[in-house]
Copies of this chain bind each other. A is one copy, B any other.
Amino acid sequence: MNETELTSVSKNQSAILEYVFEKCMNHWKSADSRDNPVLNFKTPSELSSLVDFEISNEAVDLENLKKLCDDAFRFSLNTDNPRFFNQQFIGPDKYGVAGEMIVAAINVNAHTFEVAPFFMMTEIATVKKCLDLFGFSKGEGTFCPGGSYSAMMATNLARYRKCPDLKTKGNFGSAPLVLFASKQAHYSASKNAALLGLGTENCVEINCDETGKMIISELEEAILRTKKKGSIPFLVIATAGSTVLGSFDHFNDVADISEKYGLWMHTDACWGGSVMFSKKYRHLCNGMERSDSIAWNPHKMIQMPIQCSILLSRHEGMFAEVNTTIAPYLFQPDKQYDVSYDLGKKLIQCGRRSDSVKLWLAWKANGDGLYEKRIDKAFDNAEYLTELIRKRDHFRLVIPKPQFTNISFWFIPPSLRNEDENEEFWRRLSLVAPAIKAKMQKTGSLLVAYQPVEATVNFFRMIVINPRVNHKDMEFVLDEIEKLGSDL
């Protein structure tokens, strides 16, 4: 066999590793420059003609491999650019990237202490720190492959608490189990309802007030209606930082209702949970500590490389009750160490990435204080932008007082400025954000998301995370949108 076969790292592999590493370092050195475009947009067919994506049977030589690695950077977004405001992630914390390198290099499965001793300990330490952060005096937690997965696990815990027999019997003989989430909650609530055999019809959407918070009286009415029909309310999902409007539910009120009717309270804090670092803003989560479970995604506001999601539960030991089945080839009881460190035993996953490592390393490196500063700075920028929009002609806030660092607004282009605000006005306004977005993609000068909410037509939604963003960037956003929309 050739050299690749017989050594742990061949010459060509070393060459690619060195090349990619240097590429990353060089990329980051200029990634925060506002002069580099956020993106170099190509359509799928353009991209296909520029890069040889197809995998043939033959190996590609070193020079062509390097070219493919170059292309990955060339045609990907520069999420480190301070003008990337599109979504709830940005360029990664570089300590987190170092953590990812360690995980990839060591390559063990995060299921047993036997094969992943160090990574089991980082997971235990990180979960403990998270329990503290979220004010759970006891409990358990686990890293999950994404926030939807965390919500899925929580839904399963909630069902188990209400009807433990269903683990063995299935839902078939049961009256319908019903969960509740606001209209602004993440779409995983309904996807998980379908997946877990509950049905999307049994995921009841509760209306929100004009700030995007769940209306508690409507939650209670929905629970009572459900009971009256003979169905079983078992779960309410509250949201800390909703995806579009950045709303925080009234957690104490949700907790009161949950207790009154015996529902599991899960809080989706995937996006907003990071405010717990800030003395100034953590009040937004008051009452969240009364949740039965909380999901938080450090891959959002605190910049961990995707994926990094945590599920916390206050009910210590329930993970194992819900999930354990027998796998004697993996979880031998007669091991030479305390098998409670075999974390995989109590989970649904068998093969698992060690997602704790990056957060553990980055948190050690940054300390709580740096996260607090980052959160406060993001709020400061978002508040500044809100103020700018309020004052500026032709821009209009979708909700008058944004609670978080999501800022939603319309831009009224010249052709609509003297029109009556009738149906036709709104129809035409709905076309404005997509048209400007297409121009953003063409120029690469910034990237901001748009979407409608219920009856509200397409608007821009800014997400402010990046600590390198300053007030000038906020001004730039409005100037640039005005410029790109000047002929509309």
Query: CA of A387 to CA of B393 in the docked complex: distance in angstroms?
Result: 83
Across the interface, which residues of B come within 8 angstroms of A1, CB to CB?
373, 377, 467
Instruction: Let me know if B307 and A352 touch, CB within 8 A.
Output: yes
Query: CA of A71 to CA of B116 in the docked complex: distance in angstroms?
Result: 13
- One of B76, B121, B297, B365 near A65 (C-beta < 8 A): B365
In the complex, whether A444 has a CB less than 8 A from a CB of chain B is no
Contact digits for A28-45, partner B, Cβ 8 Å, 1 yes 0 no: 110110000000011111
Instruction: Let me know if A105 and B468 touch, CB within 8 A.
Output: no
In the complex, whether A399 has a CB less than 8 A from a CB of chain B is no
In the complex, whether A486 has a CB less than 8 A from a CB of chain B is no
Instruction: Let me know if A146 and B147 touch, CB within 8 A.
Output: no
Known A20-B98, A336-B441, A341-B44; judge A89-B108 contact (CB<8 A).
yes
Instruction: Let me know if A79 and B57 touch, CB within 8 A.
Output: no
Across the interface, which residues of B come within 8 angstroms of A191, CB to CB?
323, 325, 348
Known A25-B9, A167-B200, A450-B332; judge A351-B306 contact (CB<8 A).
yes
Across the interface, which residues of B come within 8 angstroms of A48, CB to CB?
121
Instruction: Let me know if A17 and B201 touch, CB within 8 A.
Output: no
Instruction: Let me know if B17 and A351 touch, CB within 8 A.
Output: no
Instruction: Let me know if A351 and B148 touch, CB within 8 A.
Output: yes
Query: CA of A334 to CA of B129 in the docked complex: distance in angstroms?
Result: 43
Query: CA of A168 to CA of B197 in the docked complex: distance in angstroms?
Result: 9
Known A55-B125, A121-B47, A349-B148; judge A361-B69 contact (CB<8 A).
yes
Contact digits for A64-75, partner B, Cβ 8 Å, 1 yes 0 no: 010011011101
Contact digits for A226-243, partner B, Cβ 8 Å, 1 yes 0 no: 000000000000000001
Closest Cβ neighbor of A65 among chain B residues: B365
- One of B90, B101, B202 near A104 (C-beta < 8 A): B101
Across the interface, which residues of B come within 8 angstroms of A4, CB to CB?
366, 370
- One of B77, B125, B309, B336 near A434 (C-beta < 8 A): B336
In the complex, whether A124 has a CB less than 8 A from a CB of chain B is yes
In the complex, whether A212 has a CB less than 8 A from a CB of chain B is no
Closest Cβ neighbor of A106 among chain B residues: B76
Contact digits for A213-253, partner B, Cβ 8 Å, 1 yes 0 no: 00000000000000000000000000000011000000000
In the complex, whether A357 has a CB less than 8 A from a CB of chain B is yes
Interface stretch, picked from A170-178, A254-262, A411-419, A420-428, is A170-178
Query: CA of A18 to CA of B364 in the docked complex: distance in angstroms?
Result: 18
Interface stretch, picked from A182-190, A283-291, A310-318, A471-479, is A182-190
A95-153 residues with Cβ-Cβ distance < 8 A to B are 95-98, 100-110, 113-122, 124-126, 128-129, 145-149, 152
Known A7-B32, A170-B171; judge A147-B197 contact (CB<8 A).
no
In the complex, whether A443 has a CB less than 8 A from a CB of chain B is no
In the complex, whether A51 has a CB less than 8 A from a CB of chain B is yes
Query: Smallest CB–CB gap between A342 and chain B, Å?
Result: 10
- One of B24, B149, B172, B197 near A349 (C-beta < 8 A): B149
Query: Smallest CB–CB gap between A452 and chain B, Å?
Result: 6
Known A101-B20, A327-B187, A336-B434; judge A171-B146 contact (CB<8 A).
no
Across the interface, which residues of B come within 8 angstroms of A51, CB to CB?
118, 121
In the complex, whether A27 has a CB less than 8 A from a CB of chain B is yes
Closest Cβ neighbor of A42 among chain B residues: B117
Instruction: Let me know if A167 and B194 touch, CB within 8 A.
Output: yes
In the complex, whether A208 has a CB less than 8 A from a CB of chain B is no
Known A14-B25, A95-B16, A145-B307; judge A336-B60 contact (CB<8 A).
no
Query: CA of A152 to CA of B156 in the docked complex: distance in angstroms?
Result: 14
In the complex, whether A305 has a CB less than 8 A from a CB of chain B is yes
In the complex, whether A487 has a CB less than 8 A from a CB of chain B is no
Instruction: Let me know if A365 and B77 touch, CB within 8 A.
Output: no
**A-B interface, 7 closest residue pairs, ranked by CB to CB distance from nearest:** A197-B197, A170-B199, A59-B367, A145-B145, A13-B94, A329-B451, A171-B197
Interface pairs (29), CB distance under 8 Å: A8-B28, A8-B29, A8-B80, A8-B91, A9-B94, A10-B94, A13-B95, A14-B25, A14-B94, A16-B95, A20-B101, A43-B337, A51-B121, A53-B124, A58-B369, A59-B367, A60-B367, A72-B102, A72-B118, A76-B117, A89-B351, A107-B305, A145-B146, A148-B349, A172-B174, A244-B329, A306-B352, A307-B351, A329-B461
